[in-house]
Structure 1
Amino acid sequence: MHGWIGETFTSDTGWSHLERLVDIGDRMAGSPGEREALDATREALSDVGARNAHVETFGVQGWARGSSTVETADRDAVSIALPRSPAGSVRGRLVDCGDGLPTDFDRDLTDAVVVVSSTVPDHYDRFIHRREKYYRAVDAGAAAFVFRNHTPGCLAPTGSVGTEDAPLGPIPAVGVSREVGSRLCRRHEGEDVTVRVDCETPSAESGVVRADIGPETDRAVYLTSHVDAHDIAEGAVDNAAGTATVLEVARALLARDADLSRRVRIVCFGAEEVGLRGSKREAGLIDPDAVQALVNCDGVCRGRTLQWYTHGFDELGAAVEGVADRFGHPVSVRPTQHPHSDHWPFVARGVPGLLVSSDGDDRGRGWGHTSADTLDKLERRTLREGAILVTEVVAALADADRIDRRDPDAIAAALEREDLAAGMRATGDWPF
């Protein structure tokens, strides 16, 4: 009955695909590397026995990195442009806006070069996304944005800017390491500095991989991840590990195919890192009532304890906790909203959705979104353990009675209660 668990704990299917993805190199949305990753994932799903594995393409705003710098009176600071920053050169006084809390922008920032941290202090009750900080700086009149990593190690952080209506951001944006950011603010706050960004912004093409396993039912459990990654690293944790987990779960579910009461639809998205383009498109194509539940893997394998955001769907939390109790395995269940990965366009429409990530040491991304997001940070056993739990949760949701949708107005009210709504409005991400 539980032979699939032993097979999963000794399987190399997921790990081999993880290695294949990281060895591609640049998987930036719209790049040849992203298309190679989509094709490789389609091939891997077909190889384990999933039905009708195929790639469907769609157009996106492309972005290709050139050079960037922050020029000061004594020397240039090493930086990397944030994807979808516009090209340009601007000069303005350097202003340290600290952690980038909303109140940190309540000052005169007209034509300023704003520096903000990539984290928030422990006393603050929510994480503030990079794009919220960027657009608060824009609204305050800033001329350029400098995103300072809070993690030591001389690692400049990346992460996109831009909105759905305006894919390219309005002001140049760069990332700098903690060490460079500290020196900039210590030596040059209040002085004029120049931010230069060189990039290309062609039209491009991304895609999604789809495949099915289980019976041909009208309602399906969706199992999802994203295959794209930022161009500066291997994108091992974010999110080759998530796609590798989806593949391993598909293999395990096929070993117990007869036990599934509903179809499992696998969708691996492109263009997550540039505004959830793949999943927004997919969510607009489907009938929400045809989705029993959605399980999105993004950020798994960073730690051994999986973290599950349930978005206020009590049935989802009960399913996760039931599996954890049966397996005697720790999990972290969070009933709050998390509007920053590929589950979100579905949850915003009332679809029961889980985000599966993992507990880390702090509130930030760790190695994520830096050049240090590499395969050596991960362990096979972590991927295998996580895949076992995700497999059992997906199977439990496929067997469950119909899970009630939530009215989008209830989702919006939850975002207001959790102090997330204002930030989403600032970034143009408010969908209600």
Structure 2
Amino acid sequence: MTLLASKKNEGGGRMTFMRRKLSTLFFVLIIPIFFIAGCSSNSQQSNSNKIKLNFFNQKPEISSQYQKLAKMYTKEHPNVSIQITTSGQGGGAAALQAKFASGEAPDIIMLGGLPEIDRYKDHLVSLQGLPATKTILPSLRSGGISEKRLVGLPVDLEAYGWSYNKAVFAKAGVNAAAIHNYADFVRAVKKIDAQKDKLGLSGVFGFNGADTNSIASVSAQFTSQAYDNDQVKAFKSTEFPWKYGTQMHAYYTLIRNYSVQPILSVKYDPSVQDLFYNGKVAMIPQGNWIVPTLDGIEKGFVQKNLGMLPFFTKNDGSDRLLTGSSWYLGVTNDHPKREKAAKDFVNWMFTSRDAENVIINEMRFVPATKNFDVTRLPDDLSKDIYRIGSAKNARAPIHKQYPNGFSTQVLGPYIQRYFVYDITWKQLEKVVTTKYRQLREIQSGE
């Protein structure tokens, strides 16, 4: 009995020992599993918090600067990554439509004009509550409004007028400050033309007649004031405004007579980088978007040699440079989980001092915001543009509010035909009037 009890006790001890070993082994094995599971859970949670934003940009010339802004922002916000897709040079609108059609709607989109904003209005969220909204210049707000909602913020402030080469004007003995009306302007043009050979000019103007966009921006000088420079009013109108048609005819005729020939062969890049920069022409009808190109060729060229004159439309002493924005940034509602992050990034671009430094010094944009310290701008022309564009009497161009296709398929081609004497002005007016109404009615669904 004693031996049996002893063996029982020995067996029980062994079982207890084995149970302890198994219990210990269970904990040894299970703890790493919980640890790995915990790490996996944290990793998944970390990945789930990571937000990837898609930004569709239609200005190729500033793609690298947007990339820089994205890197700056994601460094401060490591949970956000930003992919920038750029498509422009006339193909941006089609590429953006393809994105939406394929179900890959971007989170942030650059849009050109109210017709394009209207196309995507059901995808755009209101930006009214953003702090950045309060900073926008009043004259630019209407360009981002759809059905009374502010859905777009202006990318920059642009001036539309005549860019003139100060060196050519000086050699020709023309004082830009003494040009106050259309008659003065014509006298200056004829004075320069009379010295064309001596000055080594190919023409007084270097108008890029091959580009329908430039033709459209010139037309804004005569159509904008007919709508009181109200972009929403212009967008809703079914009639092309001929209130300043006489002046429009006079200017396009002046361009035809004194520009580099053949006028339809002149393209945008050569008109800026060759003709204007090299002093082969005195003027081109472009705005401050040519600033980065010119200073990129020669640092300081803009400060030394670039000036701007307005078109004299009213011709009553009140004419000034048109100032507006061709492009607006919007945020889409297609990916609700990314909407707040997209708004935050857009807001940062308009309110951050670091972002602003890139915008004014590297993009060479004039800011579209109020209460900006004008002394921070790197050249005098940009300072003048900001003063004009931020004034209460600022005048915005409305050519971006023409019906889709009007500039490239109607106005541009028919002005080109006028340039080569293939159509009279009266014939042009008739076609433009009819086509404008038809396009507007079709696109408005009326």
With normalisation by structure 1, the TM-score equals 0.26
Determine which structure has more spread, i.e. the larger CA radius of gyration: 2
More RCO (CA 8 Å, sep 6+): 2
With normalisation by structure 2, the TM-score equals 0.25
